[in-house]
Homo-oligomer: A and B are copies of this chain.
Amino acid sequence: MKIAYDGTDFSGYQVQPAGRTVQGEIEKGLWRLFDEPVRVASAGRTDAGVHARGQCISFSLQNQSIPAEKVAIALNTRLPRDISARDSEDMPADFHARYSAVQRVYRYYLYPSLTRDPLRDRYVWRIRQTPSIAQLNRYASCLVGEHDFTIFASARDRSDRRVRTIDHAVFFPEGARIVFEIAARSFMWHMVRSIVGTLVALEKNGASQAELQAMIASGDRSLAGETAPAQGLVFHRVVYHTDDRLAPGRVPSVARTAGGVTE
């Protein structure tokens, strides 16, 4: 199932002892709809305040009274206004929203402006100066490929391995906003926001591409910029493989995109 949410009023995606969570609301809605307790898996566990346009979740049901492709529509009537189920389909039993995902795509929205804009503030990071998109893209190109991204790991990161492979990373304008899109099989906790905060600070200070490369190579987390605020981040899309359905475990050849929403 593909879901979208406004993260503003959630304590994050994942169920936790206290606080309103996206997962909690969805599991509550499914319970009401199917009259059975359901635990859902997700492609990514977004933080408090982070939004999603193309998050994907998977779950198993005993109650098969509603055809799989109608479950999203039915669930919508049981979800709060800030979450919506946008699409649902039946998947093979070994499909798992988290483990079957081969690519996660995040977008981060920058809004260069001297004054607050109440019609945008919920979904952007407002920055005072207008950065050079060309320079930001020079930095972004240094991220693409396999690198040890220790400098973008949070101090609380528990990963045993900080090597990740970035498939693409690009800045582009969209009206008055600047969008950063980054795609990888997996990210570390806070990694995208740390990258954005660092690249914006580098651009402001007129740093060269070589300086960013040296920073990454150093593995010194103290060199990274501040973590950009949660509200600018949107979990945009998850990519699975059609092959997963046919021959799980095989190297996939054709990528299938879920959650690709044109802005």
Interface residues of A (CB under 8 A from B): 4-6, 51, 53, 72-73, 76, 81-87, 115-119, 121-123, 175-176, 234, 261-263
Shortest C-beta distance, A6 to chain B (Å), equals 4
**Pairwise interchain contact A176-B4, C-beta atoms closer than 8 A:** no
The DSSP consensus for interface residues of chain A is mixed
**Pairwise interchain contact A123-B119, C-beta atoms closer than 8 A:** yes
**Pairwise interchain contact A118-B85, C-beta atoms closer than 8 A:** no
A117 closest partner in B (C-beta): B4
Give the contacting residue for A118; candidates B6, B72, B121; CB below 8 A: B6
10 contacts between A and B (CB under 8 A): A4-B116, A5-B118, A5-B119, A6-B118, A6-B119, A51-B119, A53-B117, A53-B119, A86-B115, A176-B262
**Pairwise interchain contact B83-A115, C-beta atoms closer than 8 A:** no
Shortest C-beta distance, A229 to chain B (Å), equals 13
Tell me how many chains of this kind the complex includes. Answer: 2
Shortest C-beta distance, A208 to chain B (Å), equals 32
Give the contacting residue for A85; candidates B51, B83, B115; CB below 8 A: B115
Q: In the complex the two chains form, what is the Cα distance from A87 to B122 in whole Å? A: 21
**Pairwise interchain contact A176-B263, C-beta atoms closer than 8 A:** yes
A8 closest partner in B (C-beta): B118
**Pairwise interchain contact A175-B76, C-beta atoms closer than 8 A:** no
Q: In the complex the two chains form, what is the Cα distance from A176 to B261 in whole Å? A: 9
Q: In the complex the two chains form, what is the Cα distance from A85 to B117 in whole Å? A: 9
CB-CB < 8 A to A72: which residues of B?
A: 115
Shortest C-beta distance, A218 to chain B (Å), equals 37
Q: In the complex the two chains form, what is the Cα distance from A11 to B193 in whole Å? A: 36
CB-CB < 8 A to A4: which residues of B?
A: 116-119
Q: In the complex the two chains form, what is the Cα distance from A86 to B51 in whole Å? A: 26
CB-CB < 8 A to A121: which residues of B?
A: 6, 81
CB-CB < 8 A to A85: which residues of B?
A: 115
